[in-house]
Amino acid sequence: MPKISTDEMNIKINEIFRQVFDDNSLSVREDMTAKDVEGWDSLTHVNLIVAVEKRFKVAFSTKEVMALRNVGDFLRLIEKKLGH
């Protein structure tokens, strides 16, 4: 996948969140956790992971997913996978 800027990545991540949670008003923030988003449970969490894997052509291990505490952690993990 061609290298993308952090801004582009954040826009794409926001699109994915809106799609997974079916909420067009959703704006992701780094400190956001599952408690902040209605419907963010274990099922939607994995759907989110799968959607990001597909969009950015990366793969996350369960250990990596388990270590995530908030959206910021997730963004940094994606950046790492993309070689930023």
Partner 1 sequence: MSDTKHLSVNDAKRVFTRLSDLARETTPFFADVWNRQEKEFGARWVEEVAESVVLLLGEDEERWKDALFGYADFSMEAVREQAYFEEHRRYRTSSAETLLTNCYEDENFMMTTYLPGLFLSHFLWRHHYKLLLFFRNEVLPELSPPGFFYEIGVGTGLYSCETLRAFPSAQSTGLDISKYSLDFTKRVLGAYGVLGRYGGHQADIFKYDLKVGSADFLICQEVLEHLEDPAKLCRLLLSLARPGAKAYITAAINAAHTDHIYLFRTPAEVEAMLRSAGWDILKSKAEHAYDGKPVEITPCVAGFLCQKA
Interface positions with partner 1 (CB under 8 A): 34, 41-43, 45-47, 49-50, 62, 65-66, 68-69
User: Minimum distance between the CB of residue 60 and partner 1, rounded to whole angstroms?
Assistant: 9
Indicate the residue among 9 and 37 with the shorter CB distance to partner 1.
37
Q: Which two tokens stand for residue 17?
A: 């969140």
| Minimum CB–partner distance for residue 66 and partner 1 (Å) | 5
CB atoms within 10 A of CB 49: 19
User: From CA 37, how far away is CA 16, in angstroms rounded?
Assistant: 14
Q: Is 60 helix (H, G, I), strand (E, B) or coil?
A: coil
